Structure 1
């Protein structure tokens, strides 16, 4: 459990049932039960990344997570990027399992928010624009996660994380969490000083021993600096046109030259370059390499945010969280001394 003097505690912690305001991003495929349990048991707030996963896998993951921790958690699904029939089954299974919190992302789908709110569930909604923040809040979201353009993975907006958070904070009636480029305690302290109530971290927790990402992906994150990441929509198969992602530059992005954006999934070739548990994976798909992926890993989407420069080694998730807590405490204590 994180050791804190209380400088970091915010009302968000009471709402979510965590000790420190550090949220694990619901990274699809990466944030499975092992990583979620490690973050939760260390005092943070965990999310299971179940984007487009089967209800059966969701049940397996939820049960495994509950066996590993008694801490609260959320399940992350993406309504606008999931077949409606599958989404219906995902949410129904979660509700049957007694899941009490959901994280949503991309376009705001008010009817989906309303469905889980009617069941008494908390809703955390990640947004990339002030307008999306207003829509999510009006739909009933309990927490707004403002994702900046610095973030790894799918990026919905084009505004910096702190600039977006500052704008959203002017009118927000619910807690605001900063996401994008935050991988250290200094980033957490800055977010709290801005008036946000916490941070969400993806890249920082991808490079941990419990993450379900492939070791190759973790090693590339450790070796990368923020300037080694690029924003592109070439890794778009399985998602709507124009869905940009931030990845570590590789041979695919280098081959694009200055055409990183503007790709139409309908015109991209379907070529198998890797396999995962017997399933073929295509070049230009949104799939990133998981533990058991084999094939051309270098050509896949290697998600990472601009905060990668602060990640210098693969360590247990609890250790990363505790380092962030200690650093943030130190930063805030130094600010108090100057006042």
Structure 2
């Protein structure tokens, strides 16, 4: 377990108080990679782990919640995405989470006040990831406890259209809730920079994706570790399984290269349904949003290698606990540097 550093005391924030964690670091609920091993490892190391249960069957969610609790007694949350989930399945997902008395729920994409109300009634903390000032205000009005502000630099599905450095201070000025910054954050220095303009902590995905605890396929992990700055693209090419006009950020691959500069305008209804792989007995379609997992077989290179703009600075494999320890040490060094400048 990571030891508490000096910066751990200096970085007690509204976020750590609300979530009951030692460090202001949330691991993103990445659908697929963020299973129980990763969520539990992050929480046990002092951060706040999220299970990524996007459109997963209730039985798997129940199993993964139990698996987290078998690994740690620290708080964690479950991430689902109401806007991209069949209403019946969403209802079943929520009921499983509420029955298991999970400490927190995290929601993403368009704000749905009714879902927030249900979670609050079940005594769950509610984190809502948003990509605009308007959505942040709506999440606050709906009763969310924490808002995650996503900049356009983020990997995976991207709600934000502005750089985090622009959007974050605007949201901080508009709402009173604790804020976690998301998008391109992979170091403790990034965390301190975000906190300087309004964040109470950070929400990170790409930096945790190559950890051994991540359920991502080794192929995807290697793509992250080999990435250079500027290797990601923002596109709607990987559009199947999500509503239209749902951009993603991925590392370039053969599919993005094949379309050249035509990275936009790929409506899911106009894309072919061509199987390129399989996972858990289900086909994976070309242009779908399914990234390769440990259990995935097929043409992995054509599947979306989700990654944020910070991927170029993630160049060595580390455990989730080491990622958190490194980020806190980097944060400590950044604070020391700033204090020395004031002396």
Q: 1:164 maps to what in 2? A: 167
Indicate yes or no: 2:279 matched with 1:259: no
Which has the higher mean CA deviation after the structures are superposed, 270-279 or 86-95?
270-279
Alignment check: 8 A CA contact 1:81 1:239 kept: yes
Q: Secondary structure at the match of 1:227?
A: coil
Alignment check: 8 A CA contact 1:180 1:305 kept: yes
> 136, 142, 157: which one pairs with 1:139?
142
Alignment check: 8 A CA contact 2:15 2:180 kept: no
Gaps of 5+ in 1: none
How much does 1:14 deviate? Answer: 1.3
Indicate yes or no: 2:293 matched with 1:284: no
Gaps of 5+ in 2: none
Alignment check: 8 A CA contact 2:154 2:249 kept: yes
**After TM superposition, what 4+ stretches of structure 1 lie above 4 angstroms from structure 2?**
none
Instruction: Supply the RMSD in Å over aligned alpha carbons.
Output: 0.9
Q: 1:273 maps to what in 2? A: 276
- Return the alpha-carbon distance in structure 1 between the equivalents of residues 92 and 281 of structure 2: 24
Indicate yes or no: 2:111 matched with 1:84: no
How much does 1:2 deviate? Answer: 4.3
Indicate yes or no: 2:319 matched with 1:309: no
Q: TM-score, normalised on structure 1?
A: 0.98
How much does 1:315 deviate? Answer: 1.4
Alignment check: 8 A CA contact 1:2 1:325 kept: no
How much does 1:277 deviate? Answer: 2.6
Q: Secondary structure at the match of 1:170?
A: helix
Q: 1:219 maps to what in 2? A: 222
> 205, 208, 212: which one pairs with 1:209?
212
Q: 2:195 maps to what in 1? A: 192
Q: Secondary structure at the match of 1:205?
A: coil
Indicate yes or no: 2:75 matched with 1:72: yes
- Return the alpha-carbon distance in structure 2 between the equivalents of residues 4 and 126 of structure 1: 28
Q: Secondary structure at the match of 2:10?
A: coil
Taking the TM superposition and a 5 Å limit, the aligned residue runs for 1:39-54 are 39-54=42-57
How much does 1:338 deviate? Answer: 1.4
> 3, 8, 13: which one pairs with 2:11?
8
What does the per-residue CA deviation read over 1:173-200, in whole Å, with 9 as the maximum and x for residues that have no partner?
Answer: 1101110000011101111222310011
Question: In 2 relative to 1, CA 66–179 (structure 1 residues): closer, same or farther, beyond 3 Å?
Answer: same
How much does 1:226 deviate? Answer: 3.0
